[in-house]
Amino acid sequence: GENVEQHPSTLSVQEGDSAVIKCTYSDSASNYFPWYKQELGKGPQLIIDIRSNVGEKKDQRIAVTLNKTAKHFSLHITETQPEDSAVYFCARQGYTGRRALTFGSGTRLQVQP
């Protein structure tokens, strides 16, 4: 179906280290993969997204990679900073079916100063 599995559920890194969060999906019709960041007391906010015709996308310290064959995509954060501490959600949307995102279960990232 349209499920998305996200791992790990919690991640603790030292400031300056890299963090990687992985998601897998099952629907071959998926063609859009955004990542959202939710800070404490706020709603999620889009930080980066990728479409199925692209294998990698970068924006400063964050990058997303997509492997369509294996049906997984990952968020990479380099040189982590304390302000990166938040809950991160991956999501997918297909070119068929409903106009809505299916979200993963979330990863709580803690960056230790």
Partner 1 sequence: DVKVTQSSRYLVKRTGEKVFLECVQDMDHENMFWYRQDPGLGLRLIYFSYDVKMKEKGDIPEGYSVSREKKERFSLILESASTNQTSMYLCASSQFSGIGSNEQFFGPGTRLTVL
Q: Which residues bind partner 1 (CB under 8 A)?
A: 6, 9, 31-32, 34, 36, 41-46, 49, 51, 89, 93, 95, 98-106
> Shortest Cβ distance from residue 46 to partner 1 (Å)?
5
Query: For residues 24 and 44, which CB has a smaller minimum distance to partner 1 in the complex?
Result: 44
Among 75, 64, 80, smallest CA distance to 18 is for: 80
Query: For residues 2 and 78, which CB has a smaller minimum distance to partner 1 in the complex?
Result: 2
Residue keyed to tokens 């100063």? 113
Query: For residues 16 and 97, which CB has a smaller minimum distance to partner 1 in the complex?
Result: 97
Which residue type sits at 55? G
SS3 state of residue 30: strand
Q: Are 46 and 75 in contact (CB under 8 A)?
A: no
